[in-house]
Amino acid sequence: MQRTIRGTALILLTIVSLRMVRAQENGEPSITREHIRAAEFIIGLEFTQAERDSMIQSLEEQRKSYKSLRTVSLANSVSPALQFDPIPSGVAFQTEIREPEWSPVKVRPVPKNLDDLAFASVRELGEMIRRRMITSEQLTRMYLARLKKYGPQLECVVTLTEDLALEQARKADREIAAGRYRGPLHGIPYGVKDLLSTRKYKTTWGAMPYKDQVIDEDATVVKKLEKAGAVLVAKLTLGALAWGDVWFGGMTRNPWNYAQGSSGSSAGSASATAAGLVAFAIGTETWGSIVSPSTRCGTTGLRPTYGRVSRTGAMALSWSMDKIGPICRTVEDCAIVFKAIIGPDGKDASLYDAPFNYTPQVDLKSLRIGYLKTEFDSARVNKAANDSVLAVLRSQGAKLIPIDLPKRYPVGDLAFILSAEAAAAFDELTRSNRDDLLVRQIRNAWPNVFRAARFIPAVEYIQANRVRTLVIQDMQNLMKDIDVYVTPSFGGDNLLLTNLTGHPCVVLPHGFTPEGTPTSISFIGRLFDEATLLAVAKKFQDATDYHLKHPKLQE
């Protein structure tokens, strides 16, 4: 028996030695027990010496496979053959499709100075264009002038699309004059976060390595907005590769306080909308990138359900978490833009063809509205503003139900799902060392996160997604008993949890800090039920005037 064991060990050592010799002959350092032992420490496991010896050949073969696969060129637009599904087991969704209903709108007389319309809602501007009180070209020239005047100070614009904008505006005016009115976005100027591709214009992703990048196609969202008649006036800033408000040209500013960044990563989209430089903007969110800048700048944002809006033509950061949504000045503006951009495009496999049956005519008494009691009770900042939201809802007949988020699983520890996917999306950037070109090089920035993510084991990534499945089911159990819930925007695990589960969110202003900058509250809805979510959030917004206040801009 001992001879057999010794013989087996001798054979293994011979194989290992031969592999080491081959590796050395090829100029590659061989994997040793010490390498494995060090890796064990990083991943929190411990193997025996015999187990380490047995692994060496497999690890050498895996490393050879990695090297081979890295010869395959993978564009950021290539998604994995694994598809995240946010729908809990056994759940069916509404299929009946009805046309959305928009609220009646009061239209003011056309002012002598068109700048006085800079902060008007999409709904009002659309009605003025429909009635031919103003032209799209007039409106477009006004916003282009404001972008040129205030954009440099706010550092919120990457590229003005002036030629395209004027061409689209004139086309809109011709169509409307001929009686071919496309709807409430026809002729409305807007800006898009510069991670969405646009033909003939740069798409920089806010990052130095890509500052001259041209992707010669329009993203699906851009195409859908063009079909709705909207007018693209600017590509707006984002924190480099969708993190924060620092991009290759500087730091995007909060129009309420130029000493502050506008937060991110939809930094320019929120800043430009809050400053009245566009009628609305398109942002994206993976983990807070609509909620956070909307909070800082006092805009109203919609983060849709995962799988609602096509990401074709958008920079990929996390295939299982990225979402695209509108940043506007009112809740109903978000509904109008959302209606135009949803639905399958035949390219993005993550999309669901679910109806959006919006109507503002909702009775809060008939709905089950929850609130995250622990987060309201424990709030250390903005508590009075938070509590005022509950008071406003109760005054409108809502019977609020205290709830708590599921706590069976460590949600915060699932965050490395995003890190792993982002590192894969920018694998070539890391391996080429061009990540050194990114402006932010601190520990808590993409270059370091991408490198550290290389050490996340595939097994742990998959296990984390299995825990994510359990969290999704827990959220479904919670949402069976309520239609919508309200929460402090950064309360507890809510922001990360709902981005992981794919639930929709509306964020809107609910007050101001002592320094005069905006604060926010968030409403969370059921999967694919943005209609109810927006209607409830609109009830609160209509009862307050925070969204009607605007910053004083510096030239």
Query: Which residues are catalytic, by number?
Result: 193, 265, 289
Instruction: Collect all residues with Cβ–Cβ distance below 8 Å to 496 and sequence separation of at least 6.
Output: 287, 411, 412, 414, 415
Side-chain half-sphere of 321: how many Cα atoms within 13 Å?
26
Cα 508 to Cα 529: distance, rounded to the nearest angstrom: 18
With b for 16 or more beta-carbon neighbours within 10 A and e for fewer, the 488-510 pattern comes to bbbbbbbbbbbbbbbbbbbbbbb
Structure tokens at 305: 């359900």
Residue 538 vs residues 268, 275, 326: alpha-carbon distances, Å: 24, 21, 15
For the chain, helix (H) and strand (E) counts, in that order, are: 18, 15
Instruction: Report residue 340 CA to chain centroid gap.
Output: 18
Residue 294 vs residues 285, 291, 299, 375: alpha-carbon distances, Å: 11, 5, 5, 20
Continuous segment of H or E residues that includes residue 301: strand 300-303
Cα 17 to Cα 482: distance, rounded to the nearest angstrom: 64
- Decide if 406 contacts 478 (C-beta within 8 A): yes
- In the DSSP assignment, the letter for residue 456 is S
User: 3-state class of 282 per DSSP?
Assistant: strand
Side-chain half-sphere of 339: how many Cα atoms within 13 Å?
23
- Picking from 333, 266, 263, the residue whose alpha carbon sits closest to that of residue 300 is 333
Instruction: Collect all residues with Cβ–Cβ distance below 8 Å to 331 and sequence separation of at least 6.
Output: 300, 506, 508, 534, 537, 538, 541
Structure tokens at 359: 């109507």
Q: Are strands 400-403 and 369-372 parallel, antiparallel or unpaired?
A: parallel
Rg of the chain on CA atoms, in Å: 26
- Decide if 437 contacts 240 (C-beta within 8 A): no
- Decide if 197 contacts 217 (C-beta within 8 A): yes
Beta strands in 100-188 (DSSP E): 157-160
Bond from prior residue into 265 cis (ω within 30 degrees of 0)? yes
